[in-house]
Chains A and B, each alone.
Chain A
Amino acid sequence: MATALTTKGNVHDKMNISIIPSTHHLASSQSSPTSSYPEDIYTTPSTPTNSTPPPNHKTITLNISDLKGRNVQLKISPTERLSMLKKKASSSLDGAKLKNCRAVHHSGRPLADNLCLRSQNIQHQDCILLLPKRENPRNGAIPSYPCPNGPNKSTINRATKHLPKAPLTKPSVRVPPDATDFFRDLRRILLTLIDSAYLLQSAEQLCGARGECYDNDETVEEMESGPEDELAVGAQGYEVDSHAVQTLTSMGYSRARAIHALQLNKMEVSQATDWLVRNSSADIPVVGPNPSTKSVPNKHDTLPSKKRTSPTSSVKGVKSRCIDSQALRNLKDMGFKEEDIIHALQLTGNNQQEACEWLLGEKTEPLSTMRLSKNSKLYKDLFSDPVVQLGLTSPHNLQVLEDMLRNPELVSQYFNDPEVGPLLLHISQITIGHGGRIKNT
């Protein structure tokens, strides 16, 4: 028998070998030793249901149970489909209700109706359990999520009508008292930032004067790699060309005046000469920083000035840097005090006309409004931000900020700049949300 099995087995797919009942199990069944399987298990035409299988077929015995605990033993050929087995079982087990059953192997494996027993690995003396099919399974489709609607307005009104009226009156529009937006307050923010940046960077100068704060550490070198000495050179920010100075001194002007003129006129010799001619009587420290506090602008003297600049004067220096010297001169000619003029020009963004009006009118806006209060939330937010703080240490950024203060039209341009743009964007992001209105864009 064994040989017959193996030779037959080879004809079939190898998969099926393991499914063939073992001889041990077969011993108990009453099948004849000469048995064979039908050629193809999948295409077996279903044998007539009521006729018993031919006696020379091997049969296996299965225990069929239903949920009521009823139990029946069936002998069946392993080549039969499962549906056949179910039919048989239902005839034995009070079948009316078993029509809609699905079969489960005792190991828990669900069984398919249309496959034969052997291909589902059902073996002799296995138990098969018949479970009723539930009528309305959700068909395995992706469940849709029906969404009940919300309550309508009238229900809400009905439900809430007994509520006490809130103690508050409903405001028509709630606008925070100190509505701020970046562009309006730009001036104040810029001034505050510039002040702080200047202080921070003047520290470098103050330390540099001592000449001992840097060792030759590589990191320091890298950090310093920008043109730091410009601050030391002067608040006007220009290195002074020694040849130009020579030219002017040779014309008979004093060295200090020549330097000053050059500084005012951005190193343009002809203009400096013009200036010297026009302002022959003017004192040197007319405008802006006191040149005496600046380093001697000798190009060969590369070390920063050893002279100690007092911090207050340096701050004042930076303030006056941001104002239009021409407007200052003009207004000064009109007889206003320099301090007032500077203030007015700062307030009005270097608009000479408006500054003049302000000077003539009542000086309503106090100086303190020029800057953010150190206690304001915006000030704290701005200055506790590491990106802003880092930005303040760069001379380049300081220059940009001053540029913007001098000429607010530049703001949008600098916003698109890949270098300072991110910093400005960052600042503007910090400033929004400090009471700003939503823009309807």
Chain B
Amino acid sequence: MSKTVSSEEEIQIGNLLFHIFNQDIEADVNPNYPTTRRVTRDYEAFRNKLGKRKQLNLENLPDYISNCLQSLPLPNGMFPMFIPTNNSSPTGSGEHVTSNDVTFPSAPATSSSTQQPQTRRGLGQDPDRVLPEGRIGAERVCLCVSPYSGKHDLTHECQLRVSSPDTVLANSCVFRGRWMYEITICSNGANLQIGWSNADCQFDGDTGVGWCLDSYAYDGHKVLKWNASIEKYGEEWCFGDVIGCAIDMDDGVITFYRNGRSLGDAFRDIYRGPGYAYFPSLTIGKDEECIVNFGQFPLRYPIKGYSPMMSPPIGELQKSRYLLQCLKKLVLVTCHARHGVKQFLHSIPPQKIDVLTLIIAHQIFEHLLPILMKRSSWQYVLLEEFLPICLGLCEGVTGSGSKSSPGDRSPLHTLLDTMLAVLQESESEQILSETFWLLSIVGLSCCPLTSSREKMSWMQFAKKLLSHEKTLNLLIKSPNFLERITYILHVRYPSQDDLNKALPNVWWDRAPFDMSDSHKQTSKDLHTMLRELQSLQSDIMDRILFGDCIANSNNFIHTVDDDLTVNGNNSNKYHFSLSLKQLVEQKLIRSKSLTEGFHSTVYSTVFFLTSLTLIKLLTRDFGAYHGDNKHSMKIIIDGNITFRDGNYAFVEQARCGGIFTFLQRTLKQDTEQTNNRKEPSYPLRSSARVKKIKLSQDSGIMEVDVGSKITTTRPKLVILPADLTNILDSIVFLYHSAVHHTLSMSRSYFSTLNQFSKSLIDTQSKLNSIDTLHTDVISELELSRQVFEKKCFETAQMVTWLKGHTFTKQNFEALVWLFRIILNTIEYEEAQGQQLAFLPEVYIISMVHLYRALRMYFISPDAGVEGQTEFTECLSKMASLLCQLCGDDRIVNPDIQEKLFEALLMFLCFSDTMKALETQSADRRKTLLLTLMSSFNKRNCIHPIGILVRFWKGDGFVYKGKQTGALIDDAISVLPEYEFMLPKFQPSCPSQLFQDQLAQICLQENTPRVEFINGILNQLNSVFSEVIETIQELQHKAVLLNEQTLNPRELRICTAYYHLTIGLLRVLEMLSCKCPALFLDQKSSIAEISLKRLMEVLIQVWNRITAHQTLFDNAIRLRLPGVESIEKMAVLYAVVGVILALCTRGSKDRNTYAIKCLLTAPGFSMKSVELLLQAAHENMQLQTRPYLVKIGVTSEDELLELNSFVSTLKQQNSTLSNSTEAIAQFNEDSCPICCANAISVVFTPCGHSTCKECITRHLLNSENCFFCNQKVAKVQDLKKSKH
């Protein structure tokens, strides 16, 4: 049956073999190479070399190949040796020079016989093996089981991550020579000490490396070195740094290196001698992660003179290099043959070439596989040999001449195909995933600023690797896939070092020198580079997520499970959604500490890339279908898949209505009802027109017209399939737990720069103007100037980087997109009735956060909020949600409510968002106002006050300051979450609409109004009392006890209360202006009581503040830290504002009535009025004092108004005092509460009696009797009952 190969074929095959296995020939195939004569000659030469067989045919080919491999001049019995030709290998260690250029040795090399490791294979596992170089331990160095906890958690052979703080040692120690190992930090590195320790050291959960005398450690977070005592050492490390730990046992020196740069000798004269040998050791805290390299793969930054703990496997490297070169040539030849450039194979049919290739490849892999799978050396071989070969094959076939056909694949893909064919699945999976892991480490430690080319080439390679479908399918299922791909994709934040190298010239606003031009150029270059990186990133991500739904008809390999892909359970998206969910769960939800610091930037990368890719896909699919991308803006996250489904992984997440199990129980019926409706289930389904569109096999996107019959404004919503929904949901979590923090952290650099550049200018100006006599002052100033300048420079470098990397237009769009989806989702959920309770709280928080991020973090010219129509739409949607959700009782968590109020407050600080609120329907606005009004009796009312004041701010008396001046905001700034002060400095934007509507509600709705006024007055009373009390205490302590030890917290609370007082007064001013009938309606008894109460409180405030030589003035003069912003005029003007509104704005009758009430209020004194006037005049003159700008300055008109009012007051007072009735003497008929009026009512059933006014006031706050606390059923008028 066998078929003899014709002589033509024989020559060609022989030629091919010669070409592949002869090292003289370069790997790159020259298409012009085989002229017939030369071919024959080479072949003859080759035959002669082999010299044995006469016949060459397909049948004896394998023997032949074995022969080829064996009969070449081989040292050590099996494989050819190479003579190194240069030592410029970038990754090889100093001692063991490796090289990619090899020459064919003419004679067996005998020079290098120094590799004992290979010859003692049997001894390799012996843990007590002593190497003459000075190391004790097994051949393979790795981390040992922790002596303390007895375990170690390796996510990979070299990657350590522990569940509780632990100290881990290597399984090998050194007693002589110079050694090193490397650690790559894959977390914040906040709890990490690395170094060396002796076998005697005992570690437990509390002690670590460096705690005892015989251990030495470096902690780059605290920037310390540890050896029984601590001392400053080194630099601060960050995520992605490679730290080299070197020990010199000959001289007794330990040195640490950061990214290849020495940090100086950390320890000298470490103890050596009999019994002393040091183990590489590290103490690692919870949630920290690092990669340890003892030489399993090439050191990233080898230090000359130091050897890695494990010597490189030279023999394996040489063998594999030769074999891989052969493989590379084989692949190239095959590729050329496929593209019609057959070279020496011109007369062999293509199928036979394929078979031939497979046979040869199989032979090569037979020899290669043992090396690639050998535990002690495979990482080294893969990184040092396999990766470069793969990288070399990344380029497409050159010189093929013909245009690439659809089935065109790069040689790398041919190599992968061949490998996957020849190797069994598990083998290739291991090799590929290990390669991928190595790739991720290399990719991680590349800083894009200083080695952008390198980073890009790795990313290119990853792209090629992942665009090979089968490989992607293998890899995506491997554990920790997402993490590894992230490490490759992540653009690491540069360290100060990198910044100095890449951005030597930066410039910032207000810099003391002008470098704007060169700075512009540098940042332009930087941005170009980053754009390039980002497009690569998104290509890779695109490939991973949607590679399998982009036309796969021409694929080289049809996967066997094609039909499974259709089901969607096996698609890349599905696997990706799983690993994303896993990442979010494991790293972000369970361990919160990870979200802080630079580590969270890694997750931001995932976030942005995933969202951008999703946007692209959805825009493409929808855009293609609908011809526009508007539809992708109506995406929601389907709550029926994500929130209400008990199977969903985030069950333990807090929901708006409480915990999930509780909701399931209480809302069982409701939920079942919803779920029983056929999918997709919507409350309005019966009347809704549901439209399903199957766009493509994979995206399967559905469009649902929700309730188009009910309300025409309701938009069409887009429901995504489950896997996409899950990805989106994970993205929301990702944003919440990592990205927002990263953004705010990044933004803080901008404010830091601002702050320090101000200080720099300030110091400079002082230096310029100071007298040269004051040398001590000058030297101090000079010192701080230098420090400030340095800091400015460094921050400016970072800011330049951030502008190009984080705050880009692209990222902004991604955030807007997510913002919109979240808004859509919440809006949809809100309409679901009780089902809203299932919505995770994260959604609401993220909505608020996203708004803040978009508003305040993206303020650069090319990526900002201004003029974004999309964003404006979002704002109006958010405004409507805020109106509805603030105070919504479906949301039970008070913190979330607080957040919503806070968001609303921030909304009101900007004129555009105020407009968005005003355009809401009247009903919505009313809901909001009622919520605000009712909240005065319930909770902490800081936010409602702030909100109401915002409606008014700008319209009040001495409250018109355009630039600054919202004192109520000071009170809010005390809250720690309020980290950004931007809204506070927004110009005021009063809302007539809301003012009017509030007045309207007050006039119409009886019950809320009464409660509202009562609530405000109560609050004002208690808050101001608190202020006075604290100030009294302060005065007492400061003056009488001569100590200034007031609790700063108390002082701040006092300040906050003070500002609340002003806020409340301003709200009252708004009410008196807009709705004076509340107080001046002479027919209503409630109004009368309110007016009396109001006047009482006002007079109290007035008297306390204006009274001369009283504690208030004095306390202010003490200028204690914490109460600086207390200023008497602010509160006085607010009081005056209320009084003027009531007493001068109405008709004459009304004014007289109000003034009379003021004058008769208890405690009123004309002196206070005079003092007020005086103070106002003083204040007018003091306008030049800069800090008064804060409070707002009286204008001439306002002062005139005040003057004329005071004169009216005086006049009225004198007329009134003439007719003053004698004050009733206290007798038995007097009311026991006020002692002023006669008893006029009696309560049933308890029978106590007071005057009517007092009890009406009392009953506003309580329904029980003033005296006996018995419930009052009825109040009976004595006079009436007598009659």
Contact = CB atoms under 8 A, between A and B. Distances in A.
A281 interface: no
Interface in A79-117: 92-93, 102, 104-110, 112, 115
Most chain A beta-carbon neighbours within 10 Å: one of B169, B230, B252, B976:
B230
Interface string B1162-1202: 00000000000000000000101111011000000000000
Given A69-B60, A108-B354, A148-B171, A160 B777 contact: no
B450 interface: no
B354 to A, nearest CB: 4
Interface string B102-139: 00000000000000000000000101111000001110
B484 to A, nearest CB: 14
Interface string A120-133: 11000111010101
Given A241-B1109, A302-B1182, A71 B3 contact: yes
A393 interface: yes
A147 B781 contact: no
B1121 A71 contact: no
A252 interface: no
A227 B1124 contact: yes
A127 B1117 contact: no
A226 B1124 contact: yes
A156 B780 contact: no
B1045 interface: yes
B273 A165 contact: yes
B8 interface: no
Interface stretch (A2-10, A33-41, A353-361, A376-384): A376-384
A176 B171 CA distance: 32
Interface in A407-440: 407, 409-410, 413-414, 416-420, 429, 432-438, 440
A183 to B, nearest CB: 16
B1187 A226 contact: yes
A70 interface: yes
Contacts of A162: 274
The residue in B2, B152, B229, B776 that gathers the most chain A C-beta atoms within 10 A of its C-beta is B229
A108 B418 contact: yes
B1192 to A, nearest CB: 13
Interface string B686-701: 0000000000000000
B426 to A, nearest CB: 4
Contacts of B2: 70-71
A277 interface: no
Contacts of B562: 15
Contacts of B1038: 266
A199 B776 contact: yes
Interface in B352-411: 352, 354-355, 358-359, 362
Given A147-B143, A241-B1117, A203 B766 contact: yes
B1145 to A, nearest CB: 33
Contact of B173 (A156, A243, A266): A156
Contact of A131 (B175, B362, B783): B362
A243 B1109 contact: yes
A418 B1049 CA distance: 9
A393 B764 CA distance: 13
B269 interface: yes
B770 interface: yes
A200 interface: yes
A267 to B, nearest CB: 5
A438 B229 contact: yes
Interface in B753-807: 755-756, 758-759, 761-763, 765-766, 768-771, 773-774, 776-777, 780-781, 783-784, 787-788, 790-791
Nearest to A384: B787
Nearest to B1187: A225
B1001 interface: no
B1189 A225 contact: yes
Most buried by B among A150, A311, A384, A396: A150
Interface centre among A152, A207, A396, A429 (most CB of B within 10 A): A207
Contacts of B1263: none
A282 interface: no
B1113 interface: yes
B769 A210 contact: yes
A159 interface: yes
Interface residues of B, number: 138
A207 B362 CA distance: 85
Interface string B1-38: 11100000000000000000000000000000000000
A17 interface: no
B277 A206 contact: no
Contacts, number: 355
Contacts of A63: 351, 355
B142 interface: yes
Nearest to B154: A145
Nearest to B757: A219
A69 B354 CA distance: 13
Interface string B45-85: 00000000000011111100000000000000000000000
Contact of A223 (B157, B176, B756, B758): B758
A179 B229 CA distance: 9
A224 B1045 CA distance: 27
B358 A108 contact: yes
Interface in B229-283: 229-233, 252, 269, 271-277, 279
A115 B275 contact: no
A55 interface: no
A166 B271 contact: yes
A159 B126 CA distance: 14
Contacts of B784: 200, 383, 389, 392-393
A148 B277 CA distance: 18
A400 interface: yes
B176 to A, nearest CB: 7
Interface stretch (A43-51, A135-143, A287-295, A362-370): A135-143
Contact of A163 (B176, B200, B758, B762): B176
B420 interface: yes
Contact of A203 (B157, B781, B783, B787): B781
A385 interface: yes
Interface stretch (A23-31, A167-175, A253-261, A333-341): A167-175
A407 B226 CA distance: 33
B560 interface: yes
A433 B230 contact: yes
A107 B557 contact: yes
Contact of A107 (B60, B169, B279, B354): B354
A139 B1122 CA distance: 69
Given A108-B358, A265-B1039, A419-B1122, A156 B769 contact: no
A237 interface: yes
A302 B1185 contact: yes
Given A149-B127, A150-B169, A159-B130, A435 B229 contact: yes
B777 A129 contact: no
Contact of B172 (A126, A150, A434): A150
A377 to B, nearest CB: 7
A213 interface: yes
Q: Which 4 residue pairs across A and B have the least CB separation, nearest first?
A: A140-B426, A386-B791, A108-B421, A150-B171
Given A106-B355, A147-B142, A389-B788, 5 more contacts: A15-B563, A127-B352, A225-B1186, A225-B1189, A266-B1042
15 contacts: A69-B58, A69-B359, A71-B2, A108-B354, A149-B138, A151-B137, A160-B175, A160-B273, A163-B274, A174-B228, A203-B780, A207-B765, A311-B777, A396-B1124, A403-B1044
Interface of A: 15, 63, 65, 67-73, 92-93, 102, 104-110, 112, 115, 120-121, 125-127, 129, 131, 133-134, 137-143, 145, 147-153, 155-166, 168, 170-171, 173-176, 179, 196, 199-200, 202-204, 206-207, 210, 212-214, 219-230, 237-239, 241, 243-244, 265-269, 271, 302, 311, 315, 326, 377, 381, 383-386, 389-390, 392-393, 396, 399-400, 403, 407, 409-410, 413-414, 416-420, 429, 432-438, 440
